[in-house]
Structure 1
Amino acid sequence: MKQLVQSTIVCLTVVFSGAAIAKGAPFDDKFRQLDELLPTPNTYRTASGAPGHQYWQQEVDYEINITLDDATQRLMGSETLDYTNNSPDTLRYIWIQLDQNRMKRGADYKLANVAPKKKVTYKGLRNIIETDAFDGGYEITKVADSNNKPLKHVINGTMMRIDLPKPLKPGKTVELNIDWNYQLHEQKVLGGRSGWEYFKKDDNYLYELAQWFPRAAAYYDVMGWQNKQFLGNGEFTLEFGDYDVKITVPADHVVAATGVLQNPKQVLTKTQRERLEQAKTAKKPVLVITPEEALANEKSRSDKTKTWHFKAENVRDFAWASSRKFIWDAQGYKEGGTDTMAMSFYPNEGNPLWERYSTEAIIHTMEQYNKYTFAYPYPVSISVNGPVGGMEYPMITFNGPRPTLNEETGEKTYSRRTKYGLIGVIIHEVGHNYFPMIVNSDERQWTWMDEGLNTFLQFVAEQAWEENYPSRRGHAAGMISYMKSTNQVPIMTNSESILQFGNNAYGKPAVALNILRESIMGRELFDFAFREYAQRWKFKRPTPADFFRTMEDASGIDLDWFWRGWFYTTDHVDIAIENVYLYRPNSQNPDIEEAWERARYNEQPTFISDMLNEGNWRRTHDKPELLDFYNEHDKFTATNAARNKYNKTHSKLEQWEKDLLANDSKFYIIDFANKGGLVMPIILDITYADDSTEQVRIPAEIWRRTPEKVSKLLIRDKEIKAIALDPNWETADVDVNNNYWPARPIQSRFDLFKRKKKDMMRDYNEELKPVDAKSGSNEEKQNDNTAN
């Protein structure tokens, strides 16, 4: 209940005492420091959040030869892996990730899937059946040392432990040689982050290849070996290194890949090479392979092969795509420390959408992300259209949206949702080059460190694309339904245990950071601190503690309360205005104060009995001699005794004390209740009687001693007419209906409809049925039916 209570301040000191803590109630300190939860700083990771002077990380270099069999959709490869131990530890074995083993029969990923509900889509049932039947995974045919001597190894699900012939000491390098092959799957049926797509009308395949080679697992100071099994959600934790990759495909295929093409003369025509050179300084995308050339490739069926050779330096992974169907456009982008080629590969099915937006979105992403992090350091940035809806790797991303084809007219159109879906997913996936491809967080453990931070910057970049860009995530109001749901788990939850992956790892962290930037820290402090984090940890592996500490270290703001509430709990924001009190200083002058009391009394409603008794006979009507002095003066009339006392006391006051008593300001005390448990700043829009307005921003620290209820004093010269809490929906407050004084009606609507005759007859028949004492009344039965 919200009400305005007017009173007089008898003693000013009482007003500022704040809400008391209930007797016996435990004090929930929302502002206690995070020291109990964060790891102890050391020489590897400092208390400031920066890498320590003894920070280290491993290095893994790869030389890979891979062949794609387009007839059987199978990959065959061999690799040489040079593992350099930069840690202070001696290693007796090395763990290798075999992510494709998730697709083996009997894999934990398949066995751990829960049963479907009663309603399943056709596609969903097909996925269930074919996932169970598909027998994929790596066939490892060789694991050997530099002398081709076999090495003992043990495959455990999606991990393989290779036992070294002798311990690998700090600073030393070991060479491992691995041969393998595996069956690719149809991505649109079995899902996942890679696979093939089949185009029936022209009998062609489009391949997007990721997680395709055995990769060294990460070994670092906080986790040791990150060898958690790959169950589908927790992605990849990898080491930086250099890649030398040769990809053999049918001669009429076009390949896009991480890194720089080393042999353009062997795989591109002279005209295509000239176009690629022209694109470096072009003002708009240049077609390296035109739609007409792509259509010609679609019809080709070469029995020869070509080998595309790529090199990439200082990357943590490698991905590629291959198809006859690819159109290829490119445009150079050079700004600040960035000098790169933005390129898009897409089939004719992607136009007219892809030719218009893909490469433009790549460049826009780099422009915006560079402002808030660091200059994009790699020589290429690629967007590929294929079966994967959205996935990221160094220098290359897979993105899904396409126009819709009208089979009757042959016309291709796209909806508003498809257009912004494409722009948004490209911004998001290209943005992942910054987080986690360069700021190399542990995705297997903390999904939010790459998805949440990247979704936040995606929102910032989208808003810079055009006015009123319809961002899917980032607005505080978009998180309300999730934050008041029972499906929440803390953001600081392992990737495989999250209940609502998108809301928890993408949406909520993005909203939290946007609130931190806009409503708590301010853009200047936030942007400086966020950029400092990115600069400190580029090409290194940060943990959550490093992010939290850096944001505080670089801004000078204690944010432990914010991290604790938003990241470690499932509390939500629900702050309510409970009461509003209007006080005025007691002048102690009886003439003034008694007149004030009389005015307050006269504002009270007339008691019902007094209303009904008005005009009735009274004894004093017949005997006026019973009336005396007190009938001539009401109870508020000041007496001479009171005046004399006031004059005597007032004469002894100093002038500043007399000024306080004469103060005619209005002292408003507003009671707030924290119903959701998550402490946040209190943002108020105040409207005065003259219709002027004022915004008051009260920091979250007001809750530090009384986190459940707090009162705020506002001293104003004007009368307050209305107060709105969180007026711009900045804080993700889940119930805005308790945010107004005076209270507002809750607006909604009801729909009118015609009742079907059979429904009316059913209700009529139910009314005629006798009550069965054993089974309850007709009404109870109807209620039960409704509930079911």
Structure 2
Amino acid sequence: MTKSFFLILLFICGLFSAQQNAYYQQHAKYKMDIDVDAANYTYQGKQSIEYTNNSPDELNVVYFNLFWNAFKPGSMMDQRVQNRGKTGDSRLNVDGVSRLASIPKDQEGAQNIHWIKQNGKLLKYEIQETIMKVYLNESIKPNSSTKFTMEWDANVPMQIRRSGRNNREGIDMTMTQWYPKISEYDYDGWATFDYVGREFHAPFADFDVNIKIDKNYVIGAGGTLENPSDVKGYTSSPTIKADKNNKVNWHWTAKDILDFAWAADPDYTVDSFAVLNGPKVYLVYQKSDKTAAWEESIPYIKKYYQLMNAAFGDYVYPTYSFIQGGDGGMEYGRCTMILGEAKSVQSLCGLMFHEGSHSWFQQMLATNEAMRPWMDEGFTSYAEDYIMYQLFPPTTPEANPFINSINAYIRWTKSGLEEPAVWLGDHHDNGTAYTFATYVKGETFLVELGYIMGEENLQKTMKEYYKQWHLKHPTDRDFIHIAQNISGMDLKWFHHYWINTTKTIDYGITNVQYDATSTTITLTNNGQVPMPIDFGVMLKDKSVINYQIPLNLTRVFKTKDINGTFTSLPYWPWTQKEYTFTIPYSKDQLSVLGIDFSQRMADVNPADNFVEVK
């Protein structure tokens, strides 16, 4: 083989490899006609889906999610709850007994498929619990589209988890994950996780939805209402023209969202207001003394969107709806379903701002929640605490907005029940372990990164992450790639330790020797996760000197952070147990010596991190 021919061959192979690994995402366009029998909690459904295969693969099957099939005795969700007993989700069990096991037959969830066609031709399909596998007559070739049509009927289940009829606050219907929903196909293949209680994943899609329902109902939804003057609740004097069955049609549209969710109740009130440089916000709830905090929340919601836009990127959709209708709180496209009753405006805002922040870290930055729930719930929890700290500052000074999460994490590590965050969302053995692995470890992942790379670099990373990946499906590899580019640091080691293991950070001051003009300090690494060390020295005059002990793993070292600039010391090799250094201050000049005055490093035994000099 000649050298020139070999080089050409290498170029062609490289080009082919780049094309095979290039990012792509699928897209769907739904058009639905839904006829609701509100008295019997059922509906008839028709939909067409224009599905575009932007992948390099030829598809011979497609999959749909039929989430409501989980809400019945003997389902996989029921089995999962029974197997986990009291360690599972308390909303799904009472004293370890599954609530699903006792659902009456007429209140079971059901999505009964009548037929499905591709380009007008009937297709064969099989239903595996909450997954429907459809065998195609015509394969969907790369960069081509096909059209599916289908009819089905559904029984709205007893309100157990997120969806269903007659929730505990008296909302008639919470319609979430309620239609046959085409699964996502990406580099990891089809996202065909059985629904047993946790997270979701879907392609970005456009929706055009007509819902016929009794004229006395008001609907709240994650979309744009195209005919507000024809229905109850959205204009002061609507012209309601019911059909012979006493129903009216609600016409909703939405673009580039992951799902379309709605709730319906005859006693809803709709309040709305505009956010400067933000969306029009709708509050859809039952007004009462118990929901008085909803009206009080309006000025905080306005500030919330402005702060989120500045810190994490602009909310791109025209509307957002906070809807009373869930079993706690759950995010969907352009809306959330939450409980309405609140003890205070602060507690309500905490719930609203967590669910609202999923618009960034679930909807616009649409990671696969089933595979990486920590990127969804954890990043959202970070945003929630970041915003709540500013809008509801603590009455007593705290080290940082995330100190409560860090302390909760430290307490949990001592339980012996911690499970790695890398586990699939539905596959944690303990419900509380899932919460800490996903919400708390995901949030502290960002807190620790801010400590390692500096808060300014973290802020730049969050904005660049949004800039590159909003309205796409990023992974943790994509996020780390951006963080490394901005900081110049190698951060793969930290990602591995924090997400793939349950190893912990534990540094301590083990020896201090005072001389006439200097002090020598020895630190020990008693943990399994290596970290750079911010070491603070407070003098008797209350001034603070900041030292940075770099970690050789990062290769590039931090020079400044929230405490100002550092005096840099030689790096600490990650294999080395102890580290000794000398500072040019005598004992009578010193007040306090300490590891991490900012208290961002999640050291599981912080008691030995500080020495008060007496």
The answer (yes or no) to whether the contact 1:520–1:699 under 8 Å persists in 2 is no
CA distance in 1, matches of 2:205, 2:234: 32
Q: Report the alpha carbon displacement of residue 516 of structure 1 after superposing the two structures with TM.
A: 2.4
Q: 1:441 to 1:45 in 2, by over 3 A?
A: farther
Matching of residues 96-107 of structure 1 within 5 Å? 96-107=64-75
Q: Determine whether 1:133 maps to 2:65.
A: no
Alignment partner, residue 10 of structure 2: none
CA contact (8 A) 1:533 1:547 kept: yes
**Which residue, 598, 604, 614 being the options, matches 1:734?**
604
2:224 matched to which residue of 1?
Answer: 260
User: Which stretches in structure 2 are left out of the alignment for 5+ residues?
Assistant: 1-13, 239-243, 553-570
SS of alignment partner, residue 327 of structure 2: coil
- Match of 2:361, SS state, is coil
Structure 2 match to 1:542: 474
| 1:156 pairs with 2:128 | yes
The answer to whether the Cα contact below 8 Å between 1:328 and 1:343 also exists between their aligned partners in 2 is yes
Alignment of 1:393-432 (within 5 A): 393-403=332-342, 414=343, 418-432=344-358
Pair 1:483-2:404 in alignment: no
Query: Unpaired segments of 5 or more residues in structure 1?
Result: 1-41, 275-301, 404-413, 584-663, 745-788
1:356 maps to what in 2? Answer: 296
Between the aligned partners of 1:567 and 1:550, the Cα distance in structure 2 is 17
Instruction: From the CA coordinates, give the structure whose radius of gyration is larger.
Output: 1
When residues 141 and 271 of structure 1 are mapped into structure 2, their CA distance, relative to the original with a 3 A threshold, is closer
> Partners in 1 of 2:54 and 2:407 — Cα distance?
46
AA aligned to 1:572 is T
Instruction: Note the 1:605-754 alignment, pairs <5 A.
Output: 665-666=517-518, 668-688=519-539, 693-701=544-552, 702-716=571-585, 719=588, 720=590, 722-741=592-611
Aligned positions of 1:159-558 closer than 5 A: 159-187=131-159, 190=160, 192-197=161-166, 205-221=171-187, 223-233=188-198, 235-268=199-232, 272=236, 304-335=246-277, 338=278, 340-349=279-288, 350-357=290-297, 359-403=298-342, 414=343, 418-468=344-394, 475-498=405-428, 499=430, 500-517=433-450, 519-558=451-490
Relative to structure 1, the CA distance from residue 356 to residue 445 in structure 2 (aligned partners, 3 Å threshold; closer, same or farther) is same
The one-letter code sitting in structure 2 at the alignment partner of 1:356 is: E
Counterpart-to-counterpart distance in 2, 1:45 and 1:447: 29
CA separation of 1:120 and 1:145: change in aligned 2, threshold 3 A: closer
Shift of 1:63: 0.6
Cα distance in 2 for partners of 1:242, 1:104 equals: 30
* 4+ residue runs over 6 A deviation: 42-46, 118-123, 469-473
- Work out the CA distance in 1 between the residues paired with 2:202 and 2:98: 32
Gap change, CA 1:55 and 1:45, over 3 Å in 2: farther
TM-score normalized by structure 2?
0.84
- 2:163 and 2:176 in contact (8 A); partners too: yes
Structure 1 residue 351: Cα displacement:
2.9
C-alpha distance 565-56 of structure 1, shift in aligned 2 (>3 A): same
Higher relative contact order (CA 8 A, sep 6+): 1
Q: Distance in 1 between matches of 2:148 and 2:361?
A: 29
Cα shift at 1:360: 3.7
1:241 counterpart letter in structure 2: A
Say if 2:507 is the partner of 1:575: yes
When normalised by structure 1's length, the TM-score is 0.67
How far 1:123 sits from its partner (Å)?
A: 9.3
Say whether the 8 Å CA contact 1:432–1:454 is kept in structure 2: yes
Deviation readout 1:623-669 (Å, 9 max, x if unpaired): xxxxxxxxxxxxxxxxxxxxxxxxxxxxxxxxxxxxxxxxx842x33
Moved more, 702-711 or 156-165: 702-711
**Structure-2 change in CA distance of 1:420 and 1:241 (3 Å):** same
| Counterpart contact for 1:685–1:696, Cα < 8 Å | yes
Aligned length: 566
- Paired letter, 1:217: S
Distance in 1 separating the partners of 2:482 and 2:63: 31
Shift of residue 217, structure 1, vs aligned partner: 0.7
Name the aligned partner's letter for residue 162 of structure 1.
V
Q: 1:105 to 1:351 in 2, by over 3 A?
A: closer
Q: CA–CA distance in 2 between the matches of 1:174 and 1:119? A: 41
- For residues 657-699 of structure 1, the C-alpha deviation after alignment (integer angstroms, 9 at most, x for no partner) is xxxxxxx842x33221111222223233334577765343433
Query: Is the contact made by 1:199 and 1:205 (CA closer than 8 Å) also made in structure 2?
Result: yes
Q: Deviations over 1:459-500 (max 9, x none)?
A: 111122132189788642232102333111222221123331
Distance 1:205 1:431, change over 3 A: closer
Distance 1:127 1:82, change over 3 A: farther
CA contact (8 A) 1:341 1:381 kept: yes
Asked whether the equivalents of residues 34 and 211 of structure 2 are also in contact (C-alpha less than 8 Å), the reply is yes
2:85 touches 2:96 (CA, 8 Å); kept in 1? no
Equivalent position amino acid for 1:225 in 2:
W
Report the residue type matching 1:732 in the other structure: A
Distance 1:479 1:250, change over 3 A: same
Paired AA for residue 512 in structure 1: F
Secondary structure, in 3 states, of the residue corresponding to 1:679? coil
Single out whichever of 114-123 and 703-712 deviates more from structure 2. 114-123
Secondary structure of the 1:154 match is: strand
Specify the code of the residue in structure 1 equivalent to 2:201: T
Counterpart amino acid of residue 463 in structure 2: R
Q: Distance in 2 between matches of 1:367 and 1:690?
A: 40
| Alpha carbons of structure 1 residues 466 and 421: separation in structure 2 relative to 1, 3 Å | closer
Task: Name the CA distance, whole Å, in 1 between partners of 2:49 and 2:180.
Answer: 9
The answer to whether the 8 A contact 2:403-2:600 is kept is no
Give 1:120 shift: 13
Q: Give the AA of the match of 1:182.
A: A
Taking the aligned partners of 2:80 and 2:362, their CA distance within structure 1 comes to: 27
Contact between 1:365 and 1:430, CA under 8 Å: does it hold in 2? no
- 8 A Cα contact 1:103 1:131, kept in partner: yes
1:581 deviation in Å? 3.0
Determine if contact 2:346/2:392 at 8 Å carries over to the other structure.
no
Residues 120 and 208 (structure 1), Cα distance of their counterparts in 2 relative to 1, 3 Å cut: closer
TM-fit CA distance, 1:739: 2.2
Question: Do the aligned partners of 1:684 and 1:695 also contact (CA within 8 Å) in 2?
Answer: yes
SS in 2 for 1:563: helix
Q: 2:323·2:337 contact (CA, 8 Å) conserved in 1? A: yes
> Does the C-alpha gap of structure 1 residues 488 and 703 become closer, same or farther in structure 2, counting only changes over 3 Å?
farther
Is this contact kept in 1: 2:285–2:340, CA < 8 A? no
1:215: Cα distance to partner? 0.8
2:233 touches 2:270 (CA, 8 Å); kept in 1?
A: no
